Structures are given as structure tokens and as C-alpha cells.
């Protein structure tokens, strides 16, 4: 019963967060001084190089208002917006590639970002924690010191610098990997998977390298602290094998904050990969956001922002639901 | 018989080495509860660590060894290989049960994770479930996480862990300090009952002389890294040989006696100093020239009753000591 209440509570707060996110995304652009319709008409006119008659102009305004969902009162606009977004996942048409719907772009970009970032974040997290645990547990050994130096050296480098260095070395000087991502559309065959992997090596590497540094450092600090706990001493005095102490005692306890960190970084992957995707022209959400921002494609921008909100909220929800599995002290309350 | 052969245990510090246990030579009969008492920093816990064989940096055994009085393959077990018998023939009950249990792992797993991988753990846990019932714990308690049990239950779990494998020697480092008196009494009675049944040897460290009086068979009094007295508890508590022991006992309240407890004034000497003579001399009301210059030998004055004092044979009455004590220059109020 307590478990049921806990889960219902988490879901309620999840939907509240999503709702607030939706609402802010709706009202924020309407508070901006620029009007997308006027802007569009202005662009149209300057491109065409001729003026429209007032009648045509009014007609166009009305049509655009309808398409953009900008007709009627603010309340009816809001309700229409909620209905479209929640029930149909319809973020409206893209302004830049009118009238293609925004959702189509997002659906195409999403697998790229998710594939690249979920994989790299998980790889960096797993390897970083395995190394960090060993470095913290055997903190006197030479290998531990080396690993810590590696962590300290990697962690402060911004990942776009790592990306640039990798492009320079492996893409330009050695020409082992491509400079930018080029993948031809077509069905997902085994050969295409290989092309995708080949093109993803450098962007993946730059994210892993930097994430690794942070994970090593934090896990090392955590396991070094937990090593001094009374239960670790007692386990040693019991004659528990060193491996068991490292994994079940030091590792298990140090992992709890790291799981929180993993979930939060999974939620932040959309914004996190922005520069990587731009640098490698990787066709994911980051590139989409950037293109939308530079071309004034509001619908596209809001669509991507909403998906990001959805992702962060979902990651937090998942954390809340699974955390008690890792830490029995959390009660379903 | 457990033999402590000339044990000198040192801690390595940035200032150099300091001997926290300095020349302990004793034969301890098995099958008894041995109380170890003394002020903070006198070396009680260090001696316990040496007996347990838990010698990790910065603690090191400079000289000496412990003979545990049991054999393996015809060879007597000593300090060098006692580690192999941890929680088999020698076990340890820590002070704080809250911090000594891993909070994220069930107790049953912690009960068995030191066992040989080939052991049938399910079978062991069946026996553990039956065993903890004897210790007034519900059998389900071992399937719980530590935070789900009360402080008293957790300490019973620690006692169960320390005694389940039926060790010859049990070391208990202030196992009841963190508990309230009612729970404390329960744990002490439990320990006494288990010892009575199994005839194991328990080393019991505490600075609560009242607790020592209640449960120990033998007492070992330490002062400034040395053992100053060792003997049967009932004798030690009635006719102590060493003035320090006497003063420790004097500080215990008795019902109906409402005169002010004096305690032992002053502080033990710093182990960093060059210590000559009797280490207790600066605080001792009976100290003479001899005590300042010559270290008293630790020897048997009566059968099984050892002490390290030049005047152990002088039978002072406690009232006389009290008078001497009041006239001791250190205790005179500055006027």
C-alpha cells in the first residue's frame, strides 16, 4: 500500500512538472516583443522584393495565425496548444521548412542523440566507476595514483576542446576517422550500422574521455571515504575477502551518489551534446536546436525544448522509482 | 593458556615511533572473562588489536608474540598466522553496532560473506536463525537491513556474529558503551551466559569498573602502556596490590556511602617522554625515591596475582591511602 502511494505520488509530481514546463514554454515566447507572423511576412516581402496588397496581407495573417495556433484569445490558444501537444504530440509546422511538422524532425533526430549520448554516458560512467573504485580502494598503489592523475588531467578540459583535438589528430592529421558525419539515408542494414559506428567514434570518444575523468575522480573520493567506515573495518576483521569488501561494502555504498549523478547526466544529455553535434555535424537534437535557434524557427525550438523537459522529468522519475532498489534505507513514503 | 610474550607494539607517527603497549609478559588462563581496564590512551585497545593480530600500519608489533593455546596441524598458532582463524577460532565484537554493519546489505549476507565460498550458506543461515532465537532475537531479524533493527537488537546481532562460529577467544571492545543501561545489562548477561555455556575466553575492554566487577573473572589493569596488575577479579576488587588499581576502585560509588568521590587526580605521562622509574610515581601518594628512579618488576606476589609496584607487599588500608593522598603535594590546594 505504501509502495502504491509512493508510485502514485511520484507520477503526480512528474505530471505536474511536465505541465509547468509545457505552460512556461507556451507563455514565454508570447512575452517576447517580436511577433513570428510579422517576422515571417517581413521576410517573405524582403525575399520577394515586392509589397502585398492590404487584403492579401490580412488574408495571409489570418492563415498564418491559424496554422501557428495564434488565433483566438490567449486562453483558447493555450487550451488548443495543450490539446495538440499532449494528445497528438503536435508541435506545429517548422517555420524554416514549412509546412513539414516539427515532430517529424524530432523523431528523426532523437535516435541519433539518444544512441550517441546514452551509450557514451553509460560507458564513461561504468568504466569511470570501475576505475575510481579501484583507485580509491587501493589508494596507496601506484596504479591508483596514475589513475587519479588521469582523472585530474581529463576532468577540467571542456569536451569541445577534446573534440577539436580529436578532429585535428584523427580526422585531419592521421585521417583515420571522418571530419564530419556523413550518412546516406536508407534502410538500416548491417553495412549502414558499420558506417554509423565509424562516424560516431570521434564524437563518442570526446564525450567518454571527459565523462571518464569526472567519474574516476568522484568515485575515487567516495570510495576512499567509505573505506574508513566502521563496517569496512569490521568486515576486514571478520576475514571477509578483499574483493568482497571492495565490491559489496565500499563499492555498493559509494555507488549511491553516483547513480544520482548518472540519472541527472542522462537527463541533461540533450543540452550536453549541443557543441559535439555541431562540431561533428552529427544529425541529432543538438544540431536541430542550433539550426532552429539560428533560423528563428520557433516551433522547432519549442519542440526540442519540450522534448528536453520531458527527458529530464522522465529521468528523475525513473531515478525516484528505482533508487530504493539500491538504497534500502529509502522508504516508500 | 594464552601467552603474551614480551609484547611491544608501536605506532609510527610523523614524530617517530611511540610504544602504546610496552613490554607485556603474561600467561592468561583460558575459559575465563578477562577484563581489561585503564584510562583512555593506556593501551587497552592496542593490546586488543595485538591479540587479535590486526597489525596494520601504523600499528606494528616491535617485539614479542602471542601464543593462542590452540594448535593447527600440530603447530601452535601464534601472531603470524592468527589471521586465518578470524571468526573461526578468534572473533571480535566491535563497540558500535550501527557503524559496524553495512547499511545497504542484508544482515544474513554479512553473516556469511567471510566464509569459504564452498560452504553451504543456506545451511549456515538455517543454523544462524535457530541460534539468534537463543539470543532473544526473532529469526527474521537476520533477513533485515541494519536500519530496520533497534540499537539493542543490532548489538545482539553483533554478539551473535562474534559467538556463532563458537570461537575459542572473543575480543569485545567496549561492546556496551553506546547503549542505555537497560539494554547494556541485557547484552552483558547474554555474554556471560554464552561464556558459561561455551567456556570460551573473552577479553572484555571497558573503562567502566562497575561493569568489570559484574562480569569478569580476571582483571588486567593497564597504565601508560604497561600492565600494572593482573589477578582474579574478586581479589583485585577487594585487595588490590597496586595503588592505581586501588584508586580506580575507590572511585566506584557504593550504596549508602555518600562521601565525595575523589578519583585519581593528575594525568598519565606522555608516552613521548623519557620514562624512568615507575610510570605511576608522579601521581602515586606512596611514591618514594626508589619509585622515581627504578622501574618496579611485574611479578607474582600471591598465587595468580601479579603486580608491578615496589610496595605491593605493604598492605595499606584504603583509609591510610586516602590520608596520604590528601597530603600528597600534588593534591594540596594552592594557598
Q: Measured between CB atoms, does B105 come within 8 Å of chain A?
A: yes
Within-domain flag for B142: yes
Q: Measured between CB atoms, does A83 come within 8 Å of chain B?
A: no
Q: Same domain, yes or no, for B242 and B325?
A: yes
- C-alpha distances out from residue A53 to A35, A42, A45, A211, B37, Å: 20, 14, 11, 58, 104
A103-326, superfamily in CATH?
MetI-like (1.10.3720.10)
Q: Considering only alpha carbons, which residue of chain B is nearest residue A140?
A: B57
Average pLDDT over residues A104-109: 89
CB within 8 Å: A231 and B114: no
Given this model, what pLDDT does residue B334 score? 46
Q: Calculate what percentage of chain A has a pLDDT beyond 70.
A: 95
Q: Please, is B302 exposed, middle or buried when counting C-beta atoms within 10 Å of its C-beta (0-12, 13-18, 19+)?
A: middle
Given this model, what pLDDT does residue B225 score? 92
B-facing residues of A in 199-238 (CB < 8 A) are: 229-231, 233-235, 237-238
Give the C-alpha separation, A72 to A333, whole Å: 45
State the residue range of the domain holding B137.
Answer: 97-166
Confidence of residue A125 (pLDDT cuts 50, 70, 90): very high
Q: Considering only alpha carbons, which residue of chain B is nearest residue A237?
A: B86
CB within 8 Å: A230 and B102: no
- Across A213-317, the runs of DSSP E, i.e. the strands, are none
Domains in chain B: how many in total?
2
Q: Calculate what percentage of chain A has a pLDDT beyond 90.
A: 21
Count of alpha carbons within 13 Å of A275, Cβ hemisphere only?
10
Within-domain flag for B151: yes
pLDDT digits (tens, 9 = 90+) for B134-175: 888 999 999 999 999 988 899 999 999 999 999 999 999 988
Q: Residues in chain A, how many? A: 333
Domain boundary at B166, B196, B219, which?
A: B166
CB within 8 Å: B104 and A253: yes
pLDDT digits (tens, 9 = 90+) for A131-146: 999 999 998 888 888 8
A222, A230, A254, best to mutate vs chain B, most B CBs in 10 Å: A230
Of A117 and A331, more confident: A117
Within-domain flag for B161: yes
Q: Measured between CB atoms, does B177 come within 8 Å of chain A?
A: no
Shortest distance between the Cα of B59 and any Cα of chain A, in A, equals 15
Contacts of B145 in chain A (CB under 8 A): 328-329
Shortest distance between the Cα of A243 and any Cα of chain B, in A, equals 11
- Write down the ipTM of this complex: 0.87
Given this model, what pLDDT does residue B89 score? 92
Q: Measured between CB atoms, does B260 come within 8 Å of chain A?
A: no
Q: Considering only alpha carbons, which residue of chain A is nearest residue B171?
A: A237
Average pLDDT over residues A284-293: 86
Given this model, what pLDDT does residue A333 score? 46
Within-domain flag for B107: yes
CB within 8 Å: B161 and A244: no
Q: With contact defined as beta carbons under 8 Å apart, do B26 and B220 qualify?
A: yes
Given this model, what pLDDT does residue B333 score? 47
Give the C-alpha separation, A51 to B260, whole Å: 108
Average pLDDT over residues A229-234: 93
Given this model, what pLDDT does residue A293 score? 81
Enter the DSSP assignment of A101.
B
pLDDT digits (tens, 9 = 90+) for A154-168: 888 888 888 889 888
The residues spanned by each domain of chain A are 34-88, 103-326
Q: Which three cell numbers stand for residue B291?
A: 619509585
| Residues in chain B, pLDDT under 70 | 262-263, 315-335
Of B87 and A77, more confident: B87
Domain boundary at B133, B166, B199, which?
A: B166
Q: With contact defined as beta carbons under 8 Å apart, do A231 and A275 qualify?
A: no
Q: Is residue A182's pLDDT more than 80?
A: no
Q: Measured between CB atoms, does A333 come within 8 Å of chain B?
A: no
Within-domain flag for B283: yes
Tell me the range of A45-59, A99-113, B65-79, B211-225 where mean pLDDT is highest. B211-225
Shortest distance between the Cα of B99 and any Cα of chain A, in A, equals 5
Within-domain flag for B154: yes
CB within 8 Å: A253 and B110: no
Query: In this complex, which of B87, B99, B113 lies closest to A248 when CB atoms are compared?
Result: B113
Domain boundary at B132, B166, B200, which?
A: B166
CB within 8 Å: B103 and A238: no
Within-domain flag for B302: yes
Q: What angle do CA A262, A264, A267 make, to 5 degrees?
A: 110
Amino acid at each position: 500500500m505504501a509502495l502504491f502511494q509512493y508510485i502514485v505520488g511520484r507520477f503526480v509530481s512528474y505530471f505536474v512538472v511536465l505541465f509547468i514546463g509545457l505552460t512556461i514554454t507556451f507563455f514565454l515566447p508570447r512575452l517576447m516583443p517580436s511577433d513570428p507572423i510579422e517576422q515571417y511576412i517581413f521576410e517573405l516581402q524582403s525575399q520577394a522584393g515586392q509589397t502585398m496588397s492590404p487584403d492579401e496581407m490580412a488574408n495571409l495573417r489570418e492563415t498564418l495565425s491559424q496554422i501557428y495556433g495564434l488565433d483566438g484569445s490567449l486562453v483558447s490558444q493555450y487550451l488548443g496548444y495543450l490539446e495538440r501537444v499532449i494528445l497528438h504530440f503536435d508541435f506545429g509546422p517548422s517555420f524554416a521548412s514549412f509546412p513539414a511538422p516539427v515532430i517529424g524532425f524530432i523523431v528523426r533526430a532523437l535516435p541519433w542523440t539518444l544512441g550517441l549520448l546514452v551509450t557514451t554516458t553509460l560507458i564513461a560512467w561504468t568504466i569511470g566507476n570501475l576505475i575510481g573504485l579501484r583507485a580509491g580502494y587501493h589508494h596507496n598503489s601506484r596504479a591508483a595514483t596514475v589513475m587519479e592523475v588521469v582523472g585530474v588531467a581529463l576532468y577540467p578540459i571542456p569536451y569541445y576542446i577534446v573534440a577539436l583535438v580529436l578532429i585535428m589528430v584523427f580526422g585531419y592529421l592521421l585521417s583515420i576517422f571522418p571530419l564530419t558525419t556523413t550518412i546516406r539515408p536508407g534502410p538500416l542494414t548491417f553495412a549502414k550500422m558499420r558506417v554509423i559506428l565509424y562516424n560516431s567514434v570521434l564524437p563518442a570518444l570526446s564525450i567518454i574521455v571527459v565523462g571518464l575523468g569526472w567519474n574516476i575522480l568522484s568515485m575515487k573520493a567516495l570510495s576512499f571515504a567509505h573505506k574508513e567506515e566502521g563496517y569496512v573495518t569490521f568486515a576486514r576483521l571478520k576475514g571477509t575477502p578483499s574483493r568482497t569488501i571492495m565490491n559489496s561494502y565500499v563499492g555498493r555504498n559509494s555507488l549511491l551518489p553516483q547513480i544520482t549523478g548518472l540519472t541527472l547526466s542522462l537527463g541533461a544529455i540533450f543540452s550536453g551534446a549541443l557543441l559535439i553535434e555541431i562540431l561533428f555535424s552529427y544529425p541529432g537534437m543538438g544540431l536541430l536546436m542550433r539550426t532552429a535557434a539560428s533560423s528563428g524557427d520557433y516551433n522547432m525550438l519549442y519542440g526540442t525544448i519540450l522534448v528536453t523537459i520531458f527527458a529530464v522529468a522522465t529521468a528523475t522519475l525513473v531515478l525516484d522509482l528505482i533508487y530504493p532498489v539500491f538504497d534500502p534505507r529509502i522508504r516508500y513514503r | 593458556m594464552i601467552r603474551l610474550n614480551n609484547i611491544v607494539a608501536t605506532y609510527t607517527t610523523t614524530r617517530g615511533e611511540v610504544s602504546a603497549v610496552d613490554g607485556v609478559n603474561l600467561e592468561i588462563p583460558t575459559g575465563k572473562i578477562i577484563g581489561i581496564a585503564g584510562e583512555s590512551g593506556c593501551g587497552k585497545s592496542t593490546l586488543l588489536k595485538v591479540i587479535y593480530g590486526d597489525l596494520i600500519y601504523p600499528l606494528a608489533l616491535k617485539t614479542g608474540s602471542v601464543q593462542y593455546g590452540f594448535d593447527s596441524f600440530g603447530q601452535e598458532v601464534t601472531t603470524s598466522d592468527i589471521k586465518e582463524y578470524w571468526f573461526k577460532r578468534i572473533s571480535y565484537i566491535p563497540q558500535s553496532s550501527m557503524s559496524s554493519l553495512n547499511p545497504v546489505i542484508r544482515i544474513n549476507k554479512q553473516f556469511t560473506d567471510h566464509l569459504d565460498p564452498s560452504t553451504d550458506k543456506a545451511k549456515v543461515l538455517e543454523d544462524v536463525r535457530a541460534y539468534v532465537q537463543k539470543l532473544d532475537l526473532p529469526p527474521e531479524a537476520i533477513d533485515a537491513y541494519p536500519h530496520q533493527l533497534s540499537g539493542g537488537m543490532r548489538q545482539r546481532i553483533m554478539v551473535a556474529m562474534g559467538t556463532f562460529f563458537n570461537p575459542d577467544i572473543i575480543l569485545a571492545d567496549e561492546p556496551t558503551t553506546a547503549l542505555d543501561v537497560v539494554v547494556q545489562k541485557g547484552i552483558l548477561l547474554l555474554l556471560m551466559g554464552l561464556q558459561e555455556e561455551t567456556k570460551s575466553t573473552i577479553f572484555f575492554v571497558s573503562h567502566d569498573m562497575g561493569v568489570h566487577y559484574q562480569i569478569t573473572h580476571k582483571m588486567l589493569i593497564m597504565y601508560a602502556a604497561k600492565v600494572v596488575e593482573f589477578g582474579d577479579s574478586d581479589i583485585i576488587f577487594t585487595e588490590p596490590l597496586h595503588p592505581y588499581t586501588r584508586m580506580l576502585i575507590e572511585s566506584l560509588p557504593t550504596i549508602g556511602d555518600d562521601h565525595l568521590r575523589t578519583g585519581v587526580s593528575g594525568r598519565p605521562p606522555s608516552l613521548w617522554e623519557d620514562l624512568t622509574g615507575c610510570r605511576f610515581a608522579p601521581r602515586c601518594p606512596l611514591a618514594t625515591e626508589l619509585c622515581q628512579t627504578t622501574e618496579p618488576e611485574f611479578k607474582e606476589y600471591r598465587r595468580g596475582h601479579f603486580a608491578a609496584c615496589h610496595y605491593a607487599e605493604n598492605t595499606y588500608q584504603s583509609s591510610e591511602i586516602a590520608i596520604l593522598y590528601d597530603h600528597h603535594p600534588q593534591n594540596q590546594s594552592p594557598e
